[in-house]
Amino acid sequence: MKMIVEKIVDETAEVRSFRLVRADGARLEAYEPGAHVDVTAPGGVTRQYSLCGAPGDDRAYTIAVKKEPQSRGGSRALHEAVTVGSELEVGTARNLFALDPAATEHVLFAAGIGITPLLAMAYRLVERSHAFTLHYFVRSPEYAAFADLLAAPPFAHHVRFHYGVARADMPRYIDACMNAASPQAHVYTCGPGPFMDAVVACAVRSRGEEAVHLEHFQAAAPAANASATGDAAFEVAIASSGQVLPVPAGSTIVDVLAGAGIVIDTSCREGICGTCVVPLLGGTPDHRDNCLSKKEKAANDQICLCVSRACSPRLVLDL
Ligand code: FES
């Protein structure tokens, strides 16, 4: 949909927030905290950004964008070419990082720009008077986006700022934060990969994988996604038609399907946004994405077509 930039705030020297309203003035569909949207910046680059406003606000989406020095057009264009009144193309909200409704307590771990989905969660948890603590790790106060908001009521009571923690000390800090919560508390994290790895390692030790939820902003390094199958060829079968298509080494399933006239919606093409996930009826996938949870991957009943491959000779897609 077309959205208009209603307000821009410099949250820090490198993070800018954008409040977006529909160009046609209509209300927005409700979304759950943790959701993200595709935003197409001037120049045509589309990126995913978490919604970080109050989820109950059906007038506007708020996103926050960190200007990345190595930006290939997404964050740089939003910082340099967008002003109040600019029109942007924005997708509908999707959520791969939801609060667990069964959890009685929540511990949120944010680092840097990873604060954005967790801020939306904090709004919801405050609104519903749920028990939670938000631990916000950041270099120093001037780099802490939304610091004033989080340091004031109704959030202040729930938020702990951790400034300048050295990487080597991170596990000890995270352990201490985790131990301050009940063993039943669910853990949510978003931030740079090494930070999330430390949070997940600590959380899994103390409460098991089912209680740990995370959101990736970037695809994992290829080495981290590598598998024993390498890039071997396999086949995909289309359940509705019986058509069988070979997927050669070096080709993705989405590209092979497109070549056969079957267009799958995609956005990131890096296995992080979830747009291209489809149900799987047969075969064993080699999951290489960062959007399905471990539980979803273990079920082997859906597959992310832009990056994942096969461990079995054939996959049967529910298309
Ligand atoms: S297009 Fe984003 S996960 Fe496949």
pLDDT tens track for 1-60: 999 999 999 999 999 999 999 999 999 999 999 999 999 988 888 888 999 999 999 999
Overall number of domains in the chain: 3
Lowest-pLDDT choice from 211-225, 237-251, 270-284: 211-225
Kindly give the distance from the C-alpha atom of residue 286 to the centroid of ligand 1, in angstroms, as a whole number.
Answer: 15
- For residue 272, pLDDT beyond 90: no
Q: Does the CB atom of residue 267 touch ligand 1 within 6 A?
A: yes
Kindly give the distance from the C-alpha atom of residue 24 to the centroid of ligand 1, in angstroms, as a whole number.
Answer: 28
* % of residues, the chain, pLDDT over 70: 95
Q: What pLDDT score was predicted for residue 49?
A: 94
In ligand 1, the atom with minimum distance to the C-alpha of 291 is 3
Residue 100 counted as domain residue: no
Q: Does the CB atom of residue 304 touch ligand 1 within 6 A?
A: yes
Are residues 245 and 180 part of one domain? Answer: no
Q: Does the CB atom of residue 269 touch ligand 1 within 6 A?
A: yes
In ligand 1, the atom with minimum distance to the C-alpha of 273 is 2
Hey, which of 46, 215, 257, 276 would you mutate to test ligand 1's pocket, going by the most ligand atoms within 8 Å of its Cβ?
Answer: 276
Residue 95 counted as domain residue: no
Residue 99 counted as domain residue: no
Residue 68 counted as domain residue: yes
Report d(CA 189, CA 109) in Å as an integer. Answer: 5
Q: How far is CA 299 from CA 33, 147, 242, 295, in A?
A: 25, 40, 23, 6
CATH number reported for the structural domain that contains residue 10 in this entry:
2.40.30.10
Q: Has this prediction a pTM greater than 0.85?
A: no
Cis peptide before 154, with omega less than 30 degrees from 0? yes
Are residues 68 and 43 part of one domain? Answer: yes
In ligand 1, the atom with minimum distance to the C-alpha of 306 is 4
> 187, 215, 243: which is the final residue of a domain?
215
Q: Does the CB atom of residue 291 touch ligand 1 within 6 A?
A: yes
Kindly give the distance from the C-alpha atom of residue 264 to the centroid of ligand 1, in angstroms, as a whole number.
Answer: 10
Are residues 281 and 181 part of one domain? Answer: no
Kindly give the distance from the C-alpha atom of residue 280 to the centroid of ligand 1, in angstroms, as a whole number.
Answer: 16
Residue 220 counted as domain residue: no
Would you say 295 and 253 are in contact if contact means Cβ atoms under 8 Å apart? no
Residue 98 counted as domain residue: no
CATH number reported for the structural domain that contains residue 313 in this entry:
3.10.20.30
Q: Does the CB atom of residue 266 touch ligand 1 within 6 A?
A: yes
In ligand 1, the atom with minimum distance to the C-alpha of 268 is 2
| Residue 69's pLDDT band (cuts 50, 70, 90) | confident
Q: Does the CB atom of residue 181 touch ligand 1 within 6 A?
A: no
Exposed/middle/buried for residue 204 (C-beta within 10 Å: 0-12, 13-18, 19+): middle
Q: What is the pLDDT of residues 149-173, one digit of tens each?
A: 999 999 999 999 999 999 899 999 9
CATH number reported for the structural domain that contains residue 153 in this entry:
3.40.50.80
Strand partners, 161: 136
Q: Does the CB atom of residue 268 touch ligand 1 within 6 A?
A: yes
Are residues 110 and 209 part of one domain? Answer: yes
Are residues 242 and 188 part of one domain? Answer: no
Are residues 123 and 211 part of one domain? Answer: yes
Are residues 165 and 85 part of one domain? Answer: no
Residue 58 counted as domain residue: yes
Are residues 132 and 40 part of one domain? Answer: no
Residue 260 counted as domain residue: yes
Q: What is the DSSP string of 210-260?
A: GGEEEE-SSPPPHHHH--TTTT--EEEEETTT--EEEE-TT--HHHHHHHT
> 45, 67, 90: which is the final residue of a domain?
90
Q: What pLDDT score was predicted for residue 228?
A: 52
Q: What pLDDT score was predicted for residue 215?
A: 83
> 163, 192, 215: which is the final residue of a domain?
215
Hey, which of 48, 267, 288, 317 would you mutate to test ligand 1's pocket, going by the most ligand atoms within 8 Å of its Cβ?
Answer: 267
Q: Does the CB atom of residue 273 touch ligand 1 within 6 A?
A: yes
Are residues 211 and 147 part of one domain? Answer: yes
Are residues 237 and 210 part of one domain? Answer: no
List CB contacts of 74: < 8 A, sequence separation 6 or more.
41, 45, 46, 47, 65, 68
Tell the residue nearest (CA) to atom 3 of ligand 1: 271
Q: What is the pLDDT of residues 124-134, one digit of tens each?
A: 999 999 999 99
- What is the token pair recorded at 193? 């990969």
- For residue 224, pLDDT beyond 60: no
Are residues 234 and 209 part of one domain? Answer: no
Kindly give the distance from the C-alpha atom of residue 305 to the centroid of ligand 1, in angstroms, as a whole number.
Answer: 7
Which residues form the domain of 238? Answer: 229-317
Q: What pLDDT score was predicted for residue 223?
A: 45
